[in-house]
Amino acid sequence: MTDQSVARSTSYLQTAPTPAAPPPISSRGAWGWARANLFATIPSATMTILFVLLLVWAVPDLFRWAFVDAIWSAPDGAVCRVQNTGACWAFIAPKFDFFMYGTYPREALWRVDVTLAAGAVLIAWLLWPDSPRKVIGAFLFFIVYPVVAYFLLHGSPLVGLSVIDTARWGGVLVSLLVSAVGIVVSLPLGVALALGRRSKLPFIKLACTVFIEFVRGVPLITVLFMANTMLPLFVPENWSPDRLLRPLIGVSLFAAAYMAEVVRGGLQAMPKGQEEGAMALGLTYWQRMNLIVLPQALTIVIPGIVSTFIGLFKDTTLVAIVGIFDFLRTVETARLDPAWAGPSISTTGYVFAALFYFVFCFGMSRYSLYMERRLAVGRKH
């Protein structure tokens, strides 16, 4: 028999596979998606309906408050008071300088702008993963920049800039300043405390442990109170620290204790062989730490470090308790301005402040996620 005749006589046999049937209508397209994700079971469907009703009830009102009924420009609060239905965004623009700089002299604002811009450029340099010559960037940011920033912001007859008392500093400037100082001081200090806590030398270990546990056991407000009222008592009377410096010290020490615990987590997660290997090669303690242990340990705890920074950034709002005009405090002050007083001013001010903090904190957490993924790629091989 030829092949052809076989084919003819067995034509009932299928020679090509049947094309796959499409999935049933109930699991295809939008309807299928909705069935699987919104109405899979009766409780699930009930919750979907409840939440959709909630959204239908709340979202249009919110939208109308924030956009449709909002007042976008007005000379003063009169318009917002008359139509008191929506947000009064008009209030932000006239107060913007106050929110940014506090009562910093208007003619010297360029000094703040230059400082902030330089800081932003340096931070971008350090954080951009592929940027060249990070060592120079780090040197500029950690050593040169603080000195330059001090002379620019505070001024000094040495450089021919008028001295501006810290009592006039405020707004976003102070919020960023407190968090930047906190971050720059707390990271090295935290690493030192963490190493001290894991030290084999009993007294160093004890001192570091007591410091860390003490600071972590008390609220930041009490630390700020302590820095504000007790620090001036502990130093000779003519040394009394500046009133902005006191909370800076408090915040830095507070953040350092939390940072120390995060770093300690990284140190503990390191396999013991790493340090033993370095020891076998004859490296000294500081060589082992700087070249082998810390680079790996700090990489492991990047998420923890960033979340400590986020916590620190949110905690800068508390410096208001010792009379520092941070951003939130300027919003608090501005919303009570009688020229603007109105039913929607408080909410407008708070929503604006919330957006500011949200952008910063959310940005930081996204950056940490991105870095985590990037670094994880290297470790998978």
Partner 1 sequence: MTDTTTRIAPRVSPWNNPVIRGWIWQFVLLVALLVLTWSAVENAATNMASRGIPTGFDFWNRSAGFDINQTLIPFTNQSTYGQAFWVGLVNTLLVSVIAIVLATIIGFLVGVGRLSKNWIVARLATIYVETLRNIPLLLQLLFWYNAVLKPLPNPRDSLSLFGAIYINNRGLILPEWHWGQGADYVLIALCAGIVAAIVYTLRARRLQAATGQQSPVFFISLGLVVGLPLLVFAVMGAPLSLTVPQLRGFNFVGGIRVLPEFVALLLGLSLYTACFIAEIVRSGIQSVAHGQSEAAHALGVRQSLTLRLIVIPQAMRVIIPPLTNQYLNLIKNSSLAVFVGYPDLVQVFMGTVLNQTGAAVQVIAITMGIYLLISLLTSLGMGIYNQRMTLKER
- Point out which residues bind partner 1 (CB under 8 A): 36-38, 40, 44, 47-48, 51-52, 200-204, 207, 213-214, 216-222, 225-226, 229-230, 232-237, 310, 314-315, 317-318, 320-321, 328, 332, 335, 343, 346-347, 350, 353-354, 357-358, 361-362, 365
Number of H helices, E strands in the chain: 19, 0
Minimum gap (Å) between residue 343 Cβ and partner 1: 6
Residue positions counted in the chain: 381
Instruction: Give residues with Cβ within 8 angstroms of 178, minimum separation 6.
Output: 247, 248, 251, 316, 319, 324, 326
Identity of the residue, 129 or 363, whose beta carbon is nearer to partner 1 in the bound complex = 363
Instruction: Give residues with Cβ within 8 angstroms of 150, minimum separation 6.
Output: none
- Residues linked to residue 169 through DSSP beta bridges, in sequence order: 102
Identity of the residue, 202 or 378, whose beta carbon is nearer to partner 1 in the bound complex = 202
Minimum gap (Å) between residue 346 Cβ and partner 1: 4
Minimum gap (Å) between residue 332 Cβ and partner 1: 7
Minimum gap (Å) between residue 215 Cβ and partner 1: 10
H or E stretch at 369? helix 345-380
CB 176 within 8 A of CB 157: no
Identity of the residue, 145 or 352, whose beta carbon is nearer to partner 1 in the bound complex = 352
Identity of the residue, 48 or 296, whose beta carbon is nearer to partner 1 in the bound complex = 48
Identity of the residue, 120 or 355, whose beta carbon is nearer to partner 1 in the bound complex = 355
Give the 3-state secondary structure of 127-157. Answer: HCCCCCCHHHHHHHHHHHHHHHHHHHHHCEH
Identity of the residue, 136 or 206, whose beta carbon is nearer to partner 1 in the bound complex = 206
Minimum gap (Å) between residue 297 Cβ and partner 1: 20
Give me Rg for the CA atoms of the chain: 30
Closest by alpha carbon to 113, among 169, 153, 166? 153
Minimum gap (Å) between residue 52 Cβ and partner 1: 7
